[in-house]
Structure 1
């Protein structure tokens, strides 16, 4: 079984000037214990469901995928935010680099994968340009069934399917709410294959639901192993969850308002984007649960080692002391290659080392450099990147963010701050019921030519 270890040495005063004291960490851990207790209550009462996802019966998904294997050259995933970021993080971590450039045979008769997430006409044009409708499966993901970006992209893809196929509906999977929503109505009307997102699982917590599991299975990933890893976190890692939540809480209390996630592997770059949504939407809240104004939240930043040693590290070391950095280290790197630098004597010191060793040496060097500058960092160490470890990583961070939010007396499961912008957009689009927002926008979206150059 794979592992994830927490190394928080360089957050503590024993090793770091002005680091956390044992008493400070224990105080935050007490708060985290209350947050975890609140979470367990919400979970037991089925108010929040992501921790129950490892119990999900995958047989229907696996049977559907098995029946369709070899039929499709391309998979287009249509979704945005929580309906896209997690799936993309999984595929970028677990599929070969440059996967779409492999031949059908090299891919094991599995489809290429494309993400129609943003409403970017250039991107969507070239996705469809590269695909043939008869060889394409479209997976539409939206919990509400009405996400404007997803429905807009799907409308164009559906038109493309309809123009090229006698039965476009057999080339569509829908992943949405189990009971309601216009997309479910459309799917049931046309006998389209559907998978349900549990009603108590929010979008940013849904990567281990059919949102992430269906596309992962289509692409040949071992979803059972992914769920096994997630389940181990649920059953056996409460102490790790408490410690990591307590560390984050401690530095939030200290006013460090930037939270950097920095894996030392390119395979987890998209994980940083997923984590940014999870952290931002869950913890960025104006009000506590009792209505007190708090303006909680810190800003997540994604970085990748060793690349961003050459771009962001200068700021992290010598800039403001407003950041906590979470490194991700791999115990082993797939296809690790020995460096052969005998072509010039200047580089002979590299010979005999491997790329994986170099990556980890650079991480350790960065840790020490930041420690000497009094800048705190912690580290999650994974034995490698596979389905089990990825399942663990997703579940661990979902737990930690949920517990951190509940410990701060905020609701980490809603996102009221994004609603008004949606409503203004609906008004501009002429959606029924949003005429007032259209008028409000027209009255208040005012700018002066004085401030244009």
Structure 2
């Protein structure tokens, strides 16, 4: 069986101080043992799956009774689910799809919400609300509206069309589950949204769409288990690909490479770039540090942003996702103009491999440090491995940067200001800041 591989051939930074990072591997191995032991890194230990997978098995017949799932969530509560949907259940975007349908309400978009209310058949729809805290106003606000919609159309049966994914013991949604008798699944403690795709957050929609949740989680465990081993030592950590990626990324930032391209040459997996962007940005953008993630899709973005990658500032590195085992597609006809004779009789799918190779070589020739992530097959097990690898690499990169990669303090300010603008109780400091901001002399120009 062909292995999934990291290809370091064009990674650059040959003068990196390996000895320095080997020394830190011992320190970080101890930190991993401590934090795994105290339950701080559930996305590596994944012990919550022993209860979750059987519960998903019990829920599966109920979920299969619906044609539509409307997922209410934002950020990490939606990006992973969308990446999995696009990769492994893409029929909804293609002609002739007969269901099931997953709709993701991941923004404050009144027009979208009104379309769901107008067109979804309530009797064939399950509404899944995902918020770890149970207080995310964008998500809980939509839940209030959908709850009323279900009640109006289904009466007392509305509760059988709802599922809440939230904290195990705290928050409004957990209280709602208890008070209303609504089905609920827990998000484990210390599992932030951007690390949560292989919990109920992402696995519930994956199950609804018919994906193999065990393959996803087994793939992830294959990568994560060595890092969650209570006997982990520095030498073993130093050899783990997640640590090697972290060392590479940290050294790049130190050398001034402050943008990280995630270039996907597996078209169905394009949305993994958006999932990675949140993971990387929200984890590492702290105290003036970090590198800006840039999702890019091959070959589409060869014709848009690749000019900047190739000939713009020399501040970019690249993670380049490929697989040799993609669909071959239809064959080009033999009757072609001579100018296009080079594709005569070839499979359409050969284009993606040729274009990917050309772009990879051009980036490397242009001085872009590049690591290829090559999946032997772009299947669900490989996706689980990829999710775990990038999650662990992000965590370890943050530790090498001496920042906390599992919080997002700057994001919270915007949330408090929004609540203050809407009149939430308290938040007097934020309300004063709003008054000062809105009362400032404007410098405006018509266009």
TM-score, normalised by the number of residues in structure 1? 0.90
Separation of aligned partners in 2, 1:449 and 1:54: 54
Is the 2:328–2:350 Cα contact (8 Å) retained in structure 1?
no
Aligned partner of 1:200 in structure 2 is: 190
Separation in 1, partners of 2:294, 2:22: 24
Correspondence 1:421 to 2:410:
no
1:8 is matched with which residue? 8
Rounded Cα–Cα distance in structure 2 between residues aligned with 1:380 and 1:318: 23
User: Which residue does the alignment assign to 1:450?
Assistant: 443
The one of 71, 74, 86 equivalent to 1:92 is 86
- Tell me the equivalent position of 2:332: 339
1:68–1:420 Cα change, 3 Å: closer
Q: Tell me the SS of whatever aligns to 1:303.
A: strand
Provide the rounded CA distance (Å) in 1 between the counterparts of 2:200 and 2:217: 12
1:268-279 to structure 2, matched below 5 A, reads 268-279=269-280
- 1:369 lines up with 2:362 in the alignment: yes
Structure 2 CA distance, aligned partners of 1:419 and 1:257? 24
Once the two structures are overlaid, the 10-residue window that deviates more, 155-164 or 168-177, is 155-164
- Bigger mean CA deviation after superposition, 352-361 or 218-227: 352-361
**Partner deviation per Cα, 1:34-85 (whole Å, 9 max, x = no partner):** 445423321122122111226612011111112342x211100000011111
Work out the CA distance in 2 between the residues paired with 1:66 and 1:310: 45
The answer as to 2:61 corresponding to 1:66 is yes
**CA displacement at 1:99 relative to structure 2:** 4.9
Moved more, 51-60 or 143-152: 51-60
Q: Kindly report which structure 2 residues correspond to 1:306-385, keeping only aligned pairs within 5 A, or say none.
A: 306-334=299-327, 336-340=329-333, 342-385=335-378
* Paired position in structure 1 for 2:266: 265
Question: 1:4 offset after TM fit, Å?
Answer: 2.5
SS at match of 1:420: helix
- Partners of 1:414 and 1:351 lie apart in 2 by 53
Alignment map for 1:47-446 (pairs within 5 Å): 47-53=40-46, 56-57=49-50, 58-69=53-64, 71-99=65-93, 102-104=96-98, 107=99, 111-166=100-155, 167-235=157-225, 239-286=240-287, 295-334=288-327, 336-340=329-333, 342-446=335-439
Distance 1:186 1:170, change over 3 A: same
Deviations 1:257-298 (A, max 9, x none): 110000102212211111111101110111xxxxxxxx2111
Once residues 429 and 300 of structure 1 are traced to their aligned partners in structure 2, the CA distance between those partners, rounded to angstroms, is 32
| CA contact 2:92–2:101 (8 Å) conserved in 1 | no
- Alpha-carbon distance in 2 for matches of 1:30, 1:88: 39
Contact 1:283-1:412 within 8 A present in 2 as well:
yes
**CA shift for structure 1 position 428:** 1.3
Q: Deviations over 1:136-193 (max 9, x none)?
A: 0010000000101001111222221111112211100000000010111111111100
With 165-174 and 155-164 compared, the bigger mean Cα shift is at: 155-164
Q: Tell me which moved more, 43-52 or 397-406.
A: 43-52
SS at match of 1:215: helix
1:236 Cα deviation from its structure 2 partner: 5.3
Structure 1: 5+ residue runs without aligned partners?
13-18, 287-294
| Whole-angstrom distance in 2 between the partners of 1:28 and 1:353 | 47
SS in 1 for 2:247: helix
Which residue does the alignment assign to 2:34?
41
Aligned counterparts of 1:37 and 1:241: Cα–Cα separation in 2: 16
Q: Aligned-pair distance for 1:312? A: 1.2
Measured in 2, the distance between the counterparts of 1:282 and 1:252 equals 14
Given that 2:261 and 2:296 are in contact with CA atoms closer than 8 Å, whether structure 1 keeps it comes out as yes
Relative to structure 2, which stretch is displaced further, 231-240 or 272-281? 231-240
Partner SS, residue 379 of structure 1: strand
Structure 1: 4+ residue segments shifted above 4 A: 99-103
Q: Distance in 2 between matches of 1:401 and 1:341?
A: 48
Aligned length: 432
